Structure 1
Amino acid sequence: MRKTDKKYDKAIREALTEVCELTMENIEGFEWLTHEVNYQRFPQSLTVRLMFKDQQTLAGFERSDDYQAVVSDVQSRLAAAGVTLKNINRHVELDTL
């Protein structure tokens, strides 16, 4: 990993930690989030995965107004960390434990 990649990785982790903490406080059934990235294809390869306790909770979240609010929060915090994504919806995935 190059020095630049390490800086981006640290900034991404810090931004997503903030999103995770707020989402845990406000969204019932949300467990954690994680990210994957291939720095050879950065930022196109960045994926943020939000994890929920079960399918029912995930489905309810996906239908709620909270979904777009959390996705927007991910996008704005990543942008503040210097990571610009053209279509955030391509980079956010929902999953269950």
Structure 2
Amino acid sequence: MTKTDKKRDTQIIKQLKSVCNEFKHSINEFEYISHEVNFKQLNQSLNISIYLSNDSAISALNLSEQKHAVSMVVSSLKEIAITLTDPAKQIHWRVKSER
């Protein structure tokens, strides 16, 4: 990872932490957010995972709440000049796995 990539990753983490703090108050059973990216194709490869504590928490989210959450992530990333090419395929709802 180059210095530029590290700086970009730090920016992404900062923006996602901000969204994370908002989700703690607005999404029941919210756990955390993570991301994966190939910096050579940032806008196409950035994948965001939103983790909730169980399947029923994901099922309980209505379409409006899901769209609002996706919109918040997209807006947050736009602040640092990242535009997801297909947010519907790049933002995923997942269940936190127990270890």
Report the TM-score, using the length of structure 1 for normalisation: 0.91
Q: What pairs up with 1:75-94 in 2 under 5 angstroms?
A: 75-94=74-93
Q: Aligned-pair distance for 1:85?
A: 1.6
CA–CA separation in structure 2 for the residues paired with 1:68 and 1:79:
16
Structure 2 residues not aligned, in runs of 5+:
none
Distance 1:87 1:42 in 2: 12
- Match of residue 5 from structure 2: 5
Deviation at residue 43 of structure 1 after TM alignment: 2.2
Q: How does 1:66-81 map to 2 (within 5 A)?
A: 66-81=65-80
CA RMSD, aligned part only? 1.2
The one-letter code of the counterpart of 2:22 is: L
Aligned AA (1:6): K
Shift of 1:54: 0.6
Aligned length: 96
| SS of match in other structure, 2:44 | coil
Where do 1:13-92 residues align within 5 Å?
A: 13-61=13-61, 63-92=62-91
- What SS is found at the alignment partner of 1:44? helix
Give 1:96's aligned residue.
95
Distance 1:34 1:85 in 2: 15
Moved more, 40-49 or 74-83: 40-49
CA deviation after TM superposition for structure 1 residue 41, in Å: 2.6
| TM norm structure 2 | 0.89
SS at match of 1:28: coil
List runs of 5+ in structure 1 lacking aligned partners.
Answer: none
Separation of aligned partners in 2, 1:3 and 1:79: 21
